Structure 1
């Protein structure tokens, strides 16, 4: 949970983004509308306030006057999750940033401090529902805090290359996560018509598609109509490509955005484990599967058995698997390749999230992958497990 919320709150240029987007909703009255009225006794006057949906970039802005402000966000696409921030350095830790679920209706926020810590949230029923879910996953108390602590331990282990400590922290974090997920399942069963269900399903159960689909069928019409679930059910039709959060090391490479399926795959040259320069264009005539991973990425490690099966079945059938690591340390990268038996082409510039090829292909999360056909055109993105095998069997006769 913390990695989702903290990542969302790390947008470093929201003020500039608001200006770039023209604060297009600030003075527009449309229905349906979320109206957020805020009075914080110590909120710094004249501070810029941003309300921002990270998926679509929809933004509303205001300024603090007399320690209060009001924001209006059109809700014609249904309920979704937004970031609300005050000032130039807003975070959850200093209380100047918070994450909110919003839909048509009103929310009031009042507090005696400068920010949202210890503030009271009231308004339409969905305000109370959001607060109940946040109480289950709060990164500053209970299981949410424990999860945050284990995440910190995990990243500390990553920094020193201690894989055993990484595994211990990951195992304990999984136990805590499963406990929180159990409570969230119970909550959804009691609130089947809440738009917040869409947030829960697509954040906490994102890799459990069958479970999401089964729960979706039990939801009420209002819950199904949320912008979140409409995006899930109709990818690319409700909003454009989402903003995904990054984890790991290094500053992100310039994001060129994803190249459209059917378009030519951008060429690149990158060193392999021995320092030899490898170019994508050198494999024209083959199906090339680019697997973006890192030694510190547990979900990536979980994918390795599937990749081994795929590689064994197709490596002699005009198919090449190229693993592009987002590691930043040669030793850790080599150790992981050897330990996990990655007997395919391994390449990296060792720049972490600054990997140029990741930026070239619009990679914003791990694991991520791209399938390229013999003509050098992109066939598909993000194929995992059985989906990858099915696609290759369809293409490679």
Structure 2
């Protein structure tokens, strides 16, 4: 997840033309965080940007004598930030959890690889979690390898190997999640526990259970304030999770309440289908792909919702981000997907995915009869709960 956060950094490249070597006006009484960095080979006269990826808020400065300092107000609790040197790329950026206080970064540069981070307690804790979740060592590295092997096996139609890789991947992921839970259990008052909980614990019930065990300092973090009061902490949050790291940049994000863009895509028989064909109905659009491991656990929830509402004023369609027809069709048949299946077979270049700002899978959108977006990214039992809410049947949850 830490590596995946860096994908959002491309979104800040358009800001640099307007950024100036100045920070925000800060009251002497406001809590602040100060980042001081000395990187021996950092490129002088280069812009440095510190961005809060959920909101797009950013501060900037210029590297002088291979050093820079950024101070920003921290009035809303701890959160995750992207620190970027120059043009946006994974190698030139890093992800930091910040709270009021100080953090010092030293290294040979030119960027943050192998840099040393010192400062307040949360700096040490973040380094522990960065190592724990790293995709470059231990279980994290193995999971990345298994995901790549799984996709390759699916592309060539070797389902036996794909299933073996998926099984091992599930075991590795379970070990990783267990280690995250153990970290949370010994750091109940850390805002970083909120990061682990919201990013890596999938079950809403389990997240709520963990949340209730956390201390007041952790709950006051911006991360957990967003969790407890969604949509109220940040008026215009940006989506930053990128499913398998292959999505392009940061597409424009559609918001709840906006009119859903129309599109036309071929179904499995090549017949063109448009969203406007379903005008006046509730439409649930699921974005997925045959190679998407996390998409599979959602299928039973989708089927339950489909069976319950298919004969009402409701339609469900799945838009695949596959690029190979054979893999797409095989996955539909294997998982017995009964709803309307569409795909341009252009991968991440799919026109509907682009129009809806899809940067990760699984992802979904619920559209109302008026053509406006009602909800986004409903998972597990929340899919059916939201539909039950729309159809005025609060007891419709099926387990």
Matched, 1:19 2:17: yes
Per-residue deviation, 1:106: 0.2
Alignment partner for residue 115 of structure 2, among 112, 119, 123?
119
Which of 206, 209, 212 is 1:214 aligned to? 209
Return closer, same or farther for 1:285/1:38 CA change in 2, 3 Å cut-off: closer
Which region of structure 1 is more displaced relative to structure 2, 338-347 or 358-367? 358-367
Deviation at 1:335, TM superposition (A): 1.4
Alignment-derived partner of residue 84 in structure 1: 83
Within 5 Å, give how 1:251-290 maps onto structure 2: 252=248, 255-261=251-257, 264-290=259-285
CA displacement, residues 317-366 of structure 1 (integer Å, 9 cap, x when unaligned): 33322111121222211111111111221112222222222233333332
Equivalents in 1 of 2:131, 2:252: separation in Å? 37
- Determine the C-alpha separation between the residues in 2 that align with 1:61 and 1:159: 43
Post-superposition CA distance 1:282-316 (Å, at most 9, x none): 22343322222211112222222222233233322
Stretch deviating more after TM superposition (135-144 or 209-218): 135-144
> Which TM-score applies when normalising by structure 2?
0.87
Q: Runs of 5+ in structure 2 lacking a partner?
A: 393-399
Match of 1:199 among 195, 200, 205: 195
Gaps of 5+ in 1: none
Q: Which residue of 2 aligns with 1:170?
A: 166
Residues 298 and 380, structure 2, Cα contact 8 Å, conserved in 1: yes
SS of alignment partner, residue 17 of structure 2: helix
Q: Is the 8 A contact 1:37 1:108 kept in 2?
A: yes
Within 5 Å, which residues of 2 pair with 1:55-134? 55-88=54-87, 90-92=89-91, 96-134=92-130
Q: Contact 2:7 / 2:242 at 8 angstroms: preserved in 1? A: no
Correspondent of 2:134 among 128, 134, 138: 138
Aligned CA distance change for structure 1 residues 394 and 90 (closer, same or farther; 3 Å): closer
TM-score, normalised relative to structure 1? 0.88
What do you get for the CA RMSD once the two structures are aligned?
Answer: 2.7
| Deviating more after overlay: 147-156 vs 353-362 | 147-156
Whether the 8 Å CA contact 1:297–1:366 is kept in 2: the answer is: yes
Pair 246,183 (structure 1): closer, same or farther in 2 beyond 3 Å: closer
Question: Is this contact kept in 2: 1:252–1:359, CA < 8 A?
Answer: no
Q: Which sits farther off after the overlay, 351-360 or 379-388? A: 379-388
Local SS of the residue matching 2:188: coil
| Cα deviation 1:350-397 (Å, max 9, x = unaligned) | 222222222333333322222334444433333344333344344447
Q: Is the 8 A contact 1:293 1:366 kept in 2?
A: yes
**What SS does the corresponding residue of 1:133 show, helix, strand or coil?**
helix
Aligned mates of 1:34, 1:60 — CA distance in 2: 12
What's the CA shift for 1:170? 2.9
Residue correspondences, number: 389
2 CA distance for matches of 1:296 and 1:203?
21
Alpha carbons 2:283, 2:367 under 8 Å: kept: yes
- Within 5 Å, which residues of 2 pair with 1:1-397? 1=1, 4-9=2-7, 11-12=9-10, 14-20=12-18, 22=19, 26-30=23-27, 31-88=30-87, 90-92=89-91, 96-205=92-201, 207-239=202-234, 240-247=236-243, 252=248, 255-261=251-257, 264-396=259-391
> Residues 334 and 117 of structure 1: is their aligned pair in 2 closer, same or farther, counting only changes over 3 Å?
same
